[in-house]
Structure 1
Amino acid sequence: MRLDRWLWAARFFKTRSLAQQAVTGGKVHLDGQRVKAGHTLRVGARLQIRRGFEQFEVVVLALSETRSSASVAQTLYQETEASRRQREHEAELRKTNAAAMPYSDGKPDKRQRRQLQQFRQHQSDHE
């Protein structure tokens, strides 16, 4: 079975062409090696998949030519425990970093402009 077709059937990517682009772009490795989208996939193979911020390491349990529901797709693979812990840890870090960042709509409001002017005036007075 083709690797890109399995990635699509296992719901890692929305379309087969996105799966194909990910494989050719080096975002998917089979047993630690870069492969082509048409590479034959077998049960027991170990895949490393990068999708945005997430990185999965999965073992192929079954093959499927068709895309079906998410619950069926999850039976096609098993994610390693280390991969699951790492993903959850990185998601938590992203969440805490986002909460620590000050919110900005881009343009400062009237009060913020006045504070900036006062700050700049104060800085230029001390130079």
Structure 2
Amino acid sequence: MADFLTLVGARIKQLRIQKGLSQAKLAEMADLQDTYIGGVERGKRNISLNSLERIMSALEADPAEALKFGRLEVLEEEKDKQNVLDIHISLLRERSLAEVKLVQRMAKDMFDTLDQEKIER
């Protein structure tokens, strides 16, 4: 049972983060305590169906979304990709427009080469 609770909690956390909500804000929207949300996300609380419905309603998601564990890896990969993109953006912000355009041209050339290699395979 603990593994199931952990999976449900992890999925709720991902959905909350996707919406850009804090635990406190989600708790407020679902009319629950923020410590309860934290316990659910850590898999430490045995969430009731009523609470699940309130949380998913606050997230504007179908309750069945809380059980779609196959998306956990996909969402984690998307999160990692976004983190890398954020790092690139922060690096580029410190550069001049000419340098940013140079990086853009270099990236385009690299992607064109990669795409051409895919076609040739």
Is the TM-score greater than 0.5? no
Flag the structure with higher strand content: 1
- Which structure has more relative contact order (CA 8 Å, sep 6+)? It is 2
TM category (shorter chain) comes to under 0.3
Give the TM-score taking structure 1 as reference length. Answer: 0.27
